[in-house]
Amino acid sequence: MPGDDRQAGTRHPAMTAPPEHAVVHETHIGVVFLLGDRAYKLKKPVNLGFLDFSTVARRRAACHREVELNRRLAPGAYLGVAAVTDGEGDPTDYLVVMRRMPERRRLATLVEAGEDVTAVIDRIARMIAAFHASADRGPAISAEGDRDAVRRRWRDNIEQVRPLGVLDAGQLAEIEQLTMSFLAGRGPLFARRLAEQRVVDGHGDLLADDIFCLDDGPQVLDCLEFDDRLRWLDGLDDIAFLAMDLERLGAPALAHRLLDRYAEFAGDPSPSSLRHHYLAYRAFVRAKVECLRDCEGSVDAAHSYAQLALHHLRAGRPRLVLVGGLPGTGKSTLAGLLADELGAVLLSSDRLRKELAGRSPDEDAASDYLTGIYSPEYSERTYAELLRRAEELLAEGETVVLDASWVRAADRARATAVATRVRSDLLALRCTAPPELAAQRLRARHGAVSDADPRIAAAMSADIDPWPQAGEVSTTGAPQDTLARARKVLDEG
């Protein structure tokens, strides 16, 4: 208990026979002594600005705080605080007393050895989700997880790294640009995370080296105790640290599983862009640590972490994808396949048009060209609503695929304005097919949402505005072949 400097406890039931050898580990802030089945952590009398262990009283308080916080996730590991006394029995310093963990049961060791830790990953995901569910929350804690706080942490880290000259300047500039662009366009996403109370007093330093996989469950050690604000973060940010570390260890499938299981157990269907953002942030934090170290291999490690951060920032960019073309060119088929491939939200102008008219999607609403619900006024209303919904989704971090003909340049210009406002990439595909194939497809339709026929398609072809910005995709052949061609166009765009 806090304030109790006695050492107590029995041997952990999951431990094997205690090791006999003694080991000493030293860092810039402390020394760990491994003796028998115990570990003793001594804090150095240092003041580094972000932590102050300069007096005995501060070190005693820090020891108690470490035990209190770490018992949340490792109650069987942290035994208490012991006093170091002089010859007269007066305390001169204090130690955190822990059970000694078996080195061979480190999660990092098991992953690197190629052992099957799937069940362990599932258990950790459930454990951290439950931990976050009961963690402290409040206005002060939430303030450290809002968009401005996340942006400030990114900027602080970048500015600490920049003058060191370790990372490539171009690489660092791209990391900064992608980060700030994502944050600038995602205000509603971060506001929703706060409203859902996703920001908690978490662990703050989840690393595979500090998790021990014992028979009676994982023991998660060494949370951040020297600065509460570093533990006040979005739960997804917290678990992303461990996912990033698993990627570093060469286990991306385990990282993906950890995040998927956490989302399931925490009831947190966050967009993939936010996952990528926090994975990138955690990788960049480790890149900064390596930049600040002065030892062999640290430069290579810093570059590796920075490249991992850049990978996730690129992968996490929300995108607005326009899939257009004349009736019968296969645009709706491609749009559906592409949305599945990208994990995107699919919005269809044909469905929305009938929704706005109060009609069911399969109800026949055929009419002459530019009349009925296909009049210019109704089309204007349809595209305006299509883009309004797309903008809301993009601001929430989703990638959106818009299935529409996009024959009018004015509608495309409005789509460009939407993408610009929410700092999202705009990609455009124009589907093409030989006229006879398109006409054959239209005649073969039954119960389709679209009401277009070959006569309407011919009239539209005479009205279409030039679209030089779009990548052209031929839809002849199998749908999967068309999808492959579309992905190639997008990747090269």
Q: According to the model, what pLDDT value does residue 20 have?
A: 54
Are the folds of 23-99 and 103-315 the same?
Answer: no
Determine the average pLDDT of the residues in 135-141: 97
> Is the pLDDT at 17 greater than 80, yes or no?
no
pLDDT for position 5: 62
Which pLDDT band holds residue 419 (cuts at 50, 70, 90)? very high
- Alpha-carbon span 475 to 482, nearest angstrom: 5
- Please give the average per-residue pLDDT across 219-230, as a whole number: 93
Give the per-residue pLDDT at 295.
Answer: 78
**In the predicted structure, residue 117 carries a pLDDT above the cut 80:** yes
Per-residue pLDDT band at 434 (split at 50, 70, 90) = very high
Give residue-wise pLDDT tens across range 148-179. 999 999 999 999 999 999 999 999 999 999 99
Q: What is the pLDDT of residues 76-96, one digit of tens each?
A: 999 999 999 988 889 999 999
Domain ranges of the chain: 23-99, 103-315, 319-492
Compute the mean pLDDT over every residue in the chain, rounded to the nearest whole number. Answer: 92
Q: Give CA–CA dist 129/192, Å, rounded.
A: 19
**Predicted confidence (pLDDT) at residue 16 exceeds the cutoff of 80:** no
Q: Which pairs from 291-294 meet CB under 8 Å and 24+ separation? A: 291/161, 291/164, 291/166, 291/167, 292/160, 292/164
User: Taking the model in full, what pTM does it have?
Assistant: 0.90
One-letter identity of residue 473: V
Look at residue 363 in the predicted model and tell me its pLDDT: 83
Instruction: Inform me whether the pLDDT recorded for 358 exceeds 80.
Output: yes
For residues 405-423, give the mean pLDDT: 97
Q: Give the model's pLDDT for residue 491.
A: 87
- Residue 8: pLDDT band with limits 50, 70, 90: very low
How far apart, in Å, are the Cα atoms of 353 and each of 134, 142, 372, 384? 45, 41, 11, 11
pLDDT given for residue 492 in this prediction = 82
Do residues 443 and 356 make contact, with C-beta atoms less than 8 angstroms apart? no
CATH numeric code, 103-315: 3.90.1200.10
CATH hierarchy code of domain 23-99? 3.30.200
Task: Tell me whether residue 475 is exposed, middle or buried, using C-beta atoms within 10 angstroms of its C-beta: 0 to 12, 13 to 18, 19 or more.
Answer: buried
Q: How sure is the predictor about 436, in pLDDT bands with cuts at 50, 70 and 90?
A: very high
Residue 47 has a pLDDT of 93
Per-residue pLDDT at 24: 93
pLDDT at residue 370, rounded to an integer = 81
Q: What confidence tier does 1 reach under pLDDT thresholds 50, 70, 90? A: very low
Residue 12 has pLDDT above 60, yes or no: no
Classify 319-492 by CATH class: alpha beta
Residue 367: its pLDDT value, please? 83
The mean pLDDT of 132-141, rounded to a whole number, is 97
Contact 474, 432 (CB under 8 A): yes
* pLDDT reading at 9 higher than 70: no
* Per-residue pLDDT reduced to its tens digit, 243-290: 999 999 999 999 999 999 999 999 999 999 999 999 999 999 999 999
pLDDT of 15 above 70: no
Higher-pLDDT residue of 6 and 483 is: 483
